[in-house]
Structure 1
Amino acid sequence: MTTAVTLPTEQASQIVEDLGQINRQMIVILDFGSQYSELIARRIRETQVYSEVLSYRTTIEQLRKLNPKGIILSGGPSSVYDQGAPKCDPEIWHLGIPILGVCYGMQLMVQQLGGEVARADRAEYGKASLYIDDPTDLLTNVEDGTTMWMSHGDSVTSMPSGFELLAHTENTPCAAIADHNRKLYGVQFHPEVVHSIGGLALIRNFVYHICECEPTWTTAAFVEESIREIRAKVGNKRVLLALSGGVDSSTLAFLLHKAIGEQLTCVFIDQGFMRKYEPERLLKLFQEQFHIPVEYVNARDRFLKALSGVTDPEEKRRIIGHEFIKVFEEESRRLGPFDYLAQGTLYPDVIESADTNVDPQTGERVAVKIKSHHNVGGLPKDLRFKLVEPLRKLFKDEVRKVGRSIGLPEEIVQRHPFPGPGLAIRILGEITAERLKILRDADLIVRQEINQRGLYHDYWQAFAVLLPIKSVGVMGDQRTYAYPIVLRIVTSEDGMTADWARVPYEVLEVISNRIVNEVKGVNRVVYDITSKPPGTIEWE
């Protein structure tokens, strides 16, 4: 499963300085390699309090400089008694800042403060009933017997001096503990996951009641701060924006246009991997309806040639990223000069593109790269532009809120996510003009049928994938040998996790029949019923 990205601590300091005074109220999550660290951050943001995920190696001096209102220690795959297990600076317990340890974070707190942790007689994975011994403070308004999500093989066998028991489960005597005087808390379960029924109430107790935060992380505050930061960073320089027509780049275009007006130049590079009719729709929408000028560049043949014979997905992303920059540099010389390149990079993009981070002393892996995003992992090291990425702190749902608040039409705000490399990563194997046409035609049918039935907003994404294999079929009493199309339709809140959608059979039947009958070169349609994790939403 995905483990968390951890920002370098010097970058963390810069982040807080850039946020401005309005976001000084923040909660820091120290990551110990948990698959849920970013989910903790998202849950805190749902309370309208800003949060960031940092490395457990963040120093005491850096934490003091960041001045968070509270700290959360994440879970992790290690055991605290293992040799080389990740540990935070023990001085953290003397900062006078409220701290909540989650799973491994709780066990580390116990161990470093003099308690004991050992292998549990019975491990707990999945749902468990939480029985509350102290219904105050951290567990205020958390119902006795509520369901919490467990995932641990170790347990606290002896609490440190000053700690009291807050709750237990059938298999875990110390499921929640607290030192009320020092405002140190620990929970063995994961309150951040959706399966934990009382989890959000617990998080709100920690954020509001214990850390005494105020809800300043709002859409209006973000827009105000972003405009200020963009103007301060860019000055009187010109900015080039890669416009794709999706909610990310469109929100960014509106935000930049609001901040710097005519200093912004939007360029739409048609790399040939867009969905059917989308380039025409994009130009009409921005130029005629929004009155934001867009430079159109037809680079279809160039990208197709660059990807000729390439089958590896990471190589595809790298080539597309490099080719994008080359085209932008050429366009900047024609239209420019430009000092800045604006991109709609989001927080999940940064997370999934995180390079493997190995502690040189322990060899411990902190973050694992899942896939490179063309605007993160695919960028060359000698990039001539300076980057402007005001959305990189946001999750997708937060971007939609920002877009809506600055006047972006609902048809764009609610548009399904579409990858930067486009159909190039929805065709497995080599990209050819023939395969692109097949996939475009099939994908259009999927979207048409989902839209016509009013199901579009029920799903996070709904699209088609073309596999580079052929299978035998029968059409009109004749043998066929053609491609299969995979339908991928998922539900999700933020793209970090996803579940396959239970689409009505009759809808799947109509989609399948239309694709097989209307798209030349396809004789089979299959449905992907894999969740994320273990799969990803996209196939590449």
Structure 2
Amino acid sequence: HERVHGVYVDTGFMRKNESADVMAAYEKAGFRNVRLRDASTEFLAAVGSETNPEIKRKRIGAAFLAVENDVLEHLPRGEWLLGQGTIYPDTIESGGTRESALIKTHHNRVPELLVRIEAGEIVEPLVQFYKDEVREIGRALGLPSRLIEKQPFPGPGLAVRFLCTDEPAAWSENSQLSQVASGFNLKARVLPVRGVGVQGDERTYAHTALVTGDYDERRIAELSPAITNSLRDVNRVVFWAGSKGSIDEFHVEPTTTSREGLDVLREADARVRDILAEYDTQKRIWQCPVVMLPLKRHGESTIAIRPVESHDGMTAQYSRLPWPVIERITSAVLQVPGVGALLYDVTNKPPATIEWE
């Protein structure tokens, strides 16, 4: 313990109460050399008004490096090793294996850190393991189950769940999409928001189909792949769960990352997690990203929930939630000031990645 020093970096992109929970967990485990560094101002400044998800990730990676370098400067060179919790899927999605293409850059795989790895300054004890295997290691080490069972959370945090755009955009109708949806007695239109997907080992960046109508679990489950299989420029399907106004009052507006917006997303995320924890007693949900979209009405944003079930995160099925649970989540999230609508992501991986960005 004495030779292990930790600096917990609060990027400002963390979930509600996350920093306090993490620090309390280290203290309980007996670590005395862990301190908190509030770097939220630096990270927000690093992302700035950037809207491109891949550039956002790289800027956040660079901000991590700046804080890291600042910490390491105070230690004698050659007398430290840096520990990273990189796991195997991170290296695959960053295009770091011979067979893999770049899907998204993980912050622990930016070029500057690769130089440190080659110089032997970084130790990555988990780099050959998938998430389920990492959990087994945690159990073998006797770590508390509430830490082991925590849902995966991206390094860049809520910043990559806060979708931004430079351009306003209007809804668009697509006759082929409408035709596929009408076969299931539902309606669909193209949501003017794009997200990351994966096809084979390749990255896609395509539009989202928005489905409206009466919720029927089986029909939605059949419609979702029918849409992505028949429309090349759609890699994600969402269901309109509820809103404060008519769907036609919502428009995509230019949006950049802001502290106020992050606070809205943080509160919505906390409410979703609380309800799902109560519902999902069997721990079937592997992860549920809660995403904020620049689809707005009277300045209020749209929230999308993305509950998925998976074994290792490389492939995933969306969690088929019963309507009363969706209703409960919709009601709770629409009570958050700054939220105007709730969408339910009903896409498997592939074709859509678990995270939207």
Q: Return the TM-score normalized by structure 2.
A: 0.70
Distance 1:432 1:378, change over 3 A: farther
SS at match of 2:107: coil
Mapping 1:232-251, distance limit 5 Å: none
Aligned match for 1:313, one of 48, 53, 74? 53
SS at match of 2:12: coil
Q: Does 1:375 pair with 2:108? A: yes
1:390 maps to a residue whose letter is P
Aligned match for 1:283, one of 23, 29, 41? 23
Q: Which residue of structure 2 aligns with residue 137 of structure 1?
A: none
For 1:442 and 1:263, the matched residues in 2 are separated by 39
SS at match of 1:493: coil
Distance 1:336 1:408, change over 3 A: farther
For 1:336 and 1:423, the matched residues in 2 are separated by 34
For 2:324 and 2:76, the matched residues in 1 are separated by 53
Q: Does 1:408 pair with 2:143? A: yes
Q: Which residue of structure 2 aligns with residue 390 of structure 1?
A: 125
1:486 maps to a residue whose letter is A
Mapping 1:203-218, distance limit 5 Å: none
For 1:385 and 1:269, the matched residues in 2 are separated by 23
Q: Which residue of structure 1 aligns with residue 10 of structure 2?
A: 270
Aligned match for 1:448, one of 265, 270, 274? 274
Considering Cα pairs closer than 8 Å and 6+ residues apart, tell me whether 1 or 2 has the greater RCO.
Answer: 2
Q: Deviations over 1:429-486 (max 9, x none)?
A: 1311111011000000011111123447120002310012313xxxxxxxx4421000
Q: Which residue of structure 2 aligns with residue 422 of structure 1?
A: 157
Residues 2 and 33, structure 2, Cα contact 8 Å, conserved in 1: no
Q: Does 1:346 pair with 2:87? A: yes
Q: Which residue of structure 2 aligns with residue 524 of structure 1?
A: 341
For 1:377 and 1:509, the matched residues in 2 are separated by 41
Residues 428 and 466, structure 1, Cα contact 8 Å, conserved in 2: yes
Distance 1:309 1:538, change over 3 A: same
Q: Deviations over 1:137-168 (max 9, x none)?
A: xxxxxxxxxxxxxxxxxxxxxxxxxxxxxxxx
2:90 maps to a residue whose letter is D
* Structure 1 runs not aligned, ≥5 long: 1-260, 358-365, 472-479
* Structure 2 runs not aligned, ≥5 long: 165-255
For 2:111 and 2:80, the matched residues in 1 are separated by 20
Shift of 1:293: 2.8
Residues 318 and 378, structure 1, Cα contact 8 Å, conserved in 2: no
Shift of 1:322: 1.4
SS at match of 2:306: strand
Residues 339 and 385, structure 1, Cα contact 8 Å, conserved in 2: no
Mapping 1:58-457, distance limit 5 Å: 261-334=1-74, 337=77, 338-354=79-95, 366-377=99-110, 379-380=112-113, 382-383=115-116, 386-429=121-164, 430-455=256-281, 457=283
Q: Does 1:490 pair with 2:308? A: yes
Shift of 1:328: 1.1
2:100 maps to a residue whose letter is A
Residues 91 and 97, structure 2, Cα contact 8 Å, conserved in 1: no
Q: Deviations over 1:101-130 (max 9, x none)?
A: xxxxxxxxxxxxxxxxxxxxxxxxxxxxxx
Distance 1:508 1:297, change over 3 A: same
Shift of 1:385: 7.3
Q: Return the TM-score normalized by structure 1.
A: 0.47
Aligned residues: 263
For 1:342 and 1:424, the matched residues in 2 are separated by 23
Q: Which residue of structure 1 aligns with residue 289 of structure 2?
A: 463
Residues 341 and 387, structure 1, Cα contact 8 Å, conserved in 2: yes
Shift of 1:291: 3.4
